[in-house]
Structure 1
Amino acid sequence: MTTLVFLCAAGFIAAFVDSIAGGGGIISLPAFIFAGIPPHLALGTNKFSSSCASFTSSLKFARSGKVDFKILKFLVPFTLIGAAAGARTVLSINAKYLNSIVLILLLIVSIYSLFSKNVGLKDNFKSTTRKTLFIGMLFAAALGFYDGFLGPGTGSFLIFGLISIYKFDFLRSAGNAKFLNFISNITALIVFIVNRQIDYKLGIPVAICMIIGARFGTKLALVKGSKIIKPIFITVSLCLAVKIVYGIIY
């Protein structure tokens, strides 16, 4: 019971943060592992719970008009393919070798966002081109693979990437990122279900708490907009970088 309460609390906080700026996996996945769940089972159970939260958050962003389906219809298939490939890959190899690459990318993203005062504060999207759609599809496939393979930080990378490619503000980018994140989550989840890597006794109650956390976080993001998303985004990115450094050293 103590373990379940701990995981539910961690899940609520993770979903709250993730629905605003991504990066909730830096809280929820380590919580499952700390609770003594074997790595692959922890990945699968966390993916199950976080998928439920992603759906809740995606739905609320979509209803608020912050999801651009005209763009996403091109990106979603590549996210799906990447996530399926990533989930299949992680079941056969050790995920730790991605740490150094992820660390470098997170530091670049967070430092750039920190010192670029105007990035993501205004929505400068005008229209798509063949070039931006092509770059977006490659980006969606790569992030889908990473999310299926490991996961933590995917939301942060998606938000930053969509801002860079389409010139969205943080709020609009968060809405689109959350939808893509949901697609990669559900795709990877199917692979984990097929391979029986989910503990439903823990996953279901944690999922309920994550749904509640996602609702609160999404509501706050929609009310406060980019001004609250940007500082949380930078903080989450730096925290994930610190976590990875700690893991490499110790």
Structure 2
Amino acid sequence: MFLASACFCAAFVDAIAGGGGLISLPAFLAAGLDPHMALGTNKLAAFFSSSGSAFKFARSGKINWDLIKYLIPFSFIGAILGVKAVILIDSKYLYPIAFFLLVFVLIYTLKNKNLGSHDNFQGVNSKNLKLGILMAFSLGFYDGFFGPGTGSFIIFGFIEIFKLDFIRASGNSKFLNLASNIASVITFIYYGKIAYMYALTVGVVMLIGANVGAKVAVTRGTKFIRPVFLVITTIVTAKMAITFLQQL
């Protein structure tokens, strides 16, 4: 029940503003999975979440297909390389890495309070496309390597590079997340790092949560969810810190 509830909240939050992995990954770790298995299982479950929110945004007309088609392949390739990199790291090193990344993501989220209030997208050009490709590849790699916070970073990237408003940035970010999730899932399957019973059961719950969250994002925006997201992120970071200290 705890795992399903946590992952529903993760999918709901992720569909609105990214960062759902900050909730779902620690939940899988708390369920007793070792770090590598938790990463792979979380990726397969998150595939359902990404699919639900991505297509909800698409049906609402919030996706810029002329832009996203250039970026998806680089997100896919980056994620494959990220998974290959994380498989080479001993599990005992993942907790401190996870903790410091969570702290960084929390600080980043707190400092960026008013992302994308206006849509000033002027089209794709050579400069923003190169930056977008770099963003897609590097965050695809990060998503495959670790994951939590990827959605927030991608949203910020779309806002800063392409000047999209928050809702359109969030919508487009879901398709980059979906591409990196698919690549990560394929690679984790190859390495045998997925607990399918957990992933498929929780995946259905996350699909429902993502659809609800995306609907809220399209109709109401993100102001009401921000304080909740920050509180949850702080709690998860604190939990990871305690776990890390217990291992010392």
TM-score by length of 2: 0.88
State the shift of 1:28 in Å. 1.0
Aligned in 2, Cα 1:247/1:22: closer, same or farther, shift over 3 Å?
farther
| Other-structure match for 2:175 | 179
Count of matched residue pairs: 243
Which is worse superposed, 66-75 or 143-152?
A: 66-75
Report the CA distance shift for 1:152/1:28 in structure 2 as closer, same or farther (over 3 A): same
- Between 1:185-194 and 1:195-204, the stretch displaced more is 195-204
Map 1:126-145 → 2, pairs under 5 A: 126-145=122-141
Contact 1:78/1:140 (8 A) holds in 2? yes
Question: Whole-Å Cα distance in 2 between the matches of residues 247 and 164 of structure 1?
Answer: 35
Of residues 152-161 and 223-232 in structure 1, the stretch that sits farther from structure 2 once superposed is: 223-232
Report matched runs for 1:103-122 at 5 Å.
Answer: 103=102, 105-107=104-106, 109-114=108-113, 117=114, 119-122=115-118
Change (3 A) 1:90 1:179: same
Question: Aligned partner of 1:150: which letter?
Answer: F
The residue type paired with residue 188 of structure 2 is F
The answer on whether the counterparts of 2:22 and 2:233 sit within 8 Å (CA) in structure 1 is no
More displaced stretch, 124-133 vs 206-215: 124-133
Superposed CA RMSD in Å reads 2.3
What amino acid does structure 2 have at the position aligned with 1:8? A
Residue 234 of structure 1: CA displacement?
A: 5.7
Which residue of 151, 156, 159 corresponds with 1:155?
151
Question: Partner amino acid for 2:221?
Answer: G
Structure 1 residue 99: Cα displacement: 4.4
Alignment of 1:162-173 (within 5 A): 162-173=158-169
Identify the residue that residue 50 of structure 1 maps to in structure 2. 46
Aligned to 1:221: 217
8 Å CA contact retained: 2:17, 2:170: yes
- Distance change (3 Å), C-alpha of 1:233 and 1:166: farther
Query: 1:89, 1:149 within 8 Å by CA — same for their partners in 2?
Result: yes
Long gaps (5+) in structure 2: none
Question: Take 1:235 and 1:121, find their aligned partners in 2: how far apart are those partners?
Answer: 22
Residues 37 and 247 from structure 1, CA distance in 2 versus in 1: closer, same or farther, beyond 3 angstroms? closer
TM-score by length of 1: 0.87
* Residue of structure 2 in register with 1:92 after alignment: 88
CA distance in 1 between partners of 2:37 and 2:244 (Å): 22
Between the aligned partners of 2:171 and 2:122, the Cα distance in structure 1 is 17
Q: Cα–Cα, structure 1 residues 204 and 130, in superposed 2: closer, same or farther, change >3 Å?
A: same
Identity of matched residues, %? 47
CA contact (8 A) 2:83 2:144 kept: yes
Matched, 1:62 2:61: no
